Amino acid sequence: MAEGPKTQMPARRKARKRALDVLYEADLRDLPPAQVLTTYLARLDRPLPEHIGYTTSLVEGVAANLDRIDELISSYAEGWTIDRMPTVDRNLARIAVQELLYVDEIDDAVAITEAVELAKQMSTDDSPRFLNGVLGRIAEYATR
């Protein structure tokens, strides 16, 4: 039983990375995330990895809640509009806010840490600090 959380974390991180890939492509191509998700899933080898279910729920959740998520990010990203943010950061923030607000089984600290870790790998040197600050403020708001 002790192995459960260890095996889930890498799977969830992979799921977040795949969700980022889909949301990034949808953002760049100005397409609905569900449409990009469908073509993304069609390109994957079968059987699909187990974490794809979480990827799908993240993408669908972000798509369903996009206006509210973007409104929060814009409100708490002091001095930044959603459109001025790097595409990677914007979509990492969207995934994390989806988890903060709508995924009860993910702790706020985990959602923030995961976004920051992916930003370290995939974005600018300033991105981890920026995301940590914005997401921390949103998490404070969400727990009120």
* Of the options 1.10.940.10, 3.20.20.140, 3.30.160.340, 1.10.357.10, the CATH number for the domain spanning 3-142: 1.10.940.10
pLDDT greater than 90 at residue 4: no
Question: Is the backbone of residue 30 left (phi > 0), alpha (psi -120 to 50) or beta?
Answer: left
pLDDT of residue 141: 86
Distance, in Å, from the CA atom of 63 to the CA atom of 72, rounded to the nearest integer, reads 15
Q: Determine the pLDDT at residue 7.
A: 42
Q: pLDDT tier at 144 (50, 70, 90 boundaries)? A: low
Rounded mean pLDDT of 95-108?
96
81 touches 39 (CB < 8 A): no
With a cut of 50, say whether residue 8 has pLDDT above it.
no
Sorted by sequence, the CB contacts under 8 Å of residue 55 that are 6+ apart come out as 15, 16, 18, 19, 22
Residues 54-91 have pLDDT tens digits of 999 999 999 999 999 999 999 999 888 899 999 999 99
Tell me the C-alpha distance between 2 and 38, whole Å: 35
Q: Give 111-140 as a DSSP string.
A: HHHHHHHHHHHHS-TTHHHHHHHHHHHHHH
pLDDT exceeds cutoff 80 at 24: yes
2 in helix, strand or coil? coil
Position 6 pLDDT exceeds 80: no
- In this predicted structure, the answer to whether residue 25 has a pLDDT above a threshold of 70 is yes
Per-residue pLDDT averaged across 89-107, rounded? 96
Residue ranges of domains in the chain:
3-142
Check pLDDT > 70 for residue 30.
Answer: yes
Cis before residue 32, ω within 30 degrees of 0?
A: no
Q: In the predicted model, what is the mean pLDDT of the chain?
A: 91
H or E, element range at 1: none
